[in-house]
Structure 1
Amino acid sequence: MFSKIAFPIFEQSINDYHQFDNVDQPVNNPFSKDKIEHLLYAKNWVDTVQWHYEDIIRNPAIDPVEALVLKRKIDASNQVRTDMVEYIDSYFLQKYSNVKVKDNAKINSESPAWALDRLSILALKIFHMNEEATREDASPEHRAKCQEKLNVLLEQKKDLSTAIDDLITDIENGDKYMKVYKQMKMYNDEELNPVLYQNKK
């Protein structure tokens, strides 16, 4: 089951990040570059850094200039996240390229990698909600509410993991087929974003 490979790697990345909890710390990916584990770790590391970017930029006392710099970093991070998802989908496309697709096979609403993207974010939600549910300086009411939310997130993890594993099994068996569309994000592209290409004139 692929989710049983992916989720512990996401957890490892999150735990490694929180050893220093610094958005500028270098990534130290422990997996060989030719392994899917390397891609999964790298994907979650980008998600984890961006999670903390999003926390920082919501500081009401943030300097506007710093906020603009951070917004640029978030934009760049979003592009990297999208690229990482497409790399992971390329892995699945290659792995199952020789599968004979059945005549009645169906396409899924999202690719395996985009489902794994949601699982990566879910791992972050679980980590941080657990922090809140066990925070010693929080009120008992706060901890109880966060524990309730954590229980829902853990149930969601179970359901999403099952759905991912079922999708990959269906692709392996030819019951579903992959068709990947590049995201074609426009806002970072100097040829597609009117604000950017008009300023080039």
Structure 2
Amino acid sequence: MFTENANRIFDRAIGEYHRWDDVDRPIENPFEQGTIDRLLYHKNWIDTVQWHLEDIIRDPQIDPATALGIKRRIDRSNQERTDMVEYIDSYLMDKYRDVRPAADARLNTETPAWAIDRLSILALKIYHMERETERGDDAHRDACRRKLAVLLEQRADLSRAIEELIEDIEAGRKYMKTYKQMKMYNDPALNPVLYARKK
């Protein structure tokens, strides 16, 4: 199953990141170029690094200049994350390019890759909530165990929904349509703060 493989890859990427727990550690993607596995690993590595950057920037004692540098790094990471989602969708569109949608085929509210994006983030939530069940007092651990149970249920439900969406695309009951994400704040031609500086 697609999501079983994806979840395994996400868990592997998260585990390998935490061997060093270093936001500057270069990615060492173990999967072959051009494979969906390589895309999934890369996607989750970006998410994992960004997760930790988001933690760092919330330190109340952080130096403002350092915080600004991290904020800009998070902005770049968000663009990379969006690009990876588009690469995954492109991979899937190419894989199913010969499928002829039925006359009554429907368009889904989101593409498979945007649902996979949420699955990647869930893997991070699960990993970190599991760590929280191992520390603190009994009340903290119990509260985190309850939250972890909800996250695991959510992952099972989302995994099933993604499988059903992929099955529907394969059978022609649904079809994929992608739109390039037009992030205006990153574009010097579209962000008024940036293009005003050129005048």
Q: With the length of structure 2 as denominator, give the TM-score of the two structures.
A: 0.99
The number of equivalent residue pairs is 199
Alignment partner of 1:93 is 2:93: yes
Partner of residue 187, structure 2: 189
Partner of residue 154, structure 1: 152
The amino acid across from 1:70 in the alignment is: I
Q: With the length of structure 1 as denominator, give the TM-score of the two structures.
A: 0.98
Q: Distance in 2 between matches of 1:134 and 1:183?
A: 39
The amino acid across from 1:56 in the alignment is: I
The amino acid across from 2:192 in the alignment is: P
Q: Which runs of 5+ in 1 are unaligned?
A: none
TM-fit CA distance, 1:200? 2.1
Partner of residue 125, structure 2: 125
Q: Distance in 1 between matches of 2:121 and 2:130?
A: 14
Q: Distance in 2 between matches of 1:60 and 1:38?
A: 36
The amino acid across from 1:173 in the alignment is: A
TM-fit CA distance, 1:199? 1.1
What percent of counterpart residues are identical? 62
Runs of 4+ in structure 1 over 6 Å off: none
Partner of residue 198, structure 2: 200
What is the 5 A alignment of 1:72-87?
72-87=72-87
CA RMSD of aligned residues (A): 0.5
Secondary structure at the aligned position of 1:187 is classed as helix
Partner of residue 104, structure 2: 104
Q: Distance in 2 between matches of 1:106 and 1:60?
A: 48
Over residues 106-153 of structure 1, what are the superposed CA-to-partner deviations in whole Å (9 max), with x where a residue is unaligned? Answer: 000000000000000000000000000112xx0100000000000000
TM-fit CA distance, 1:182? 1.1
Over residues 129-188 of structure 1, what are the superposed CA-to-partner deviations in whole Å (9 max), with x where a residue is unaligned? Answer: 0000112xx010000000000000000000000000000000000000001111110101
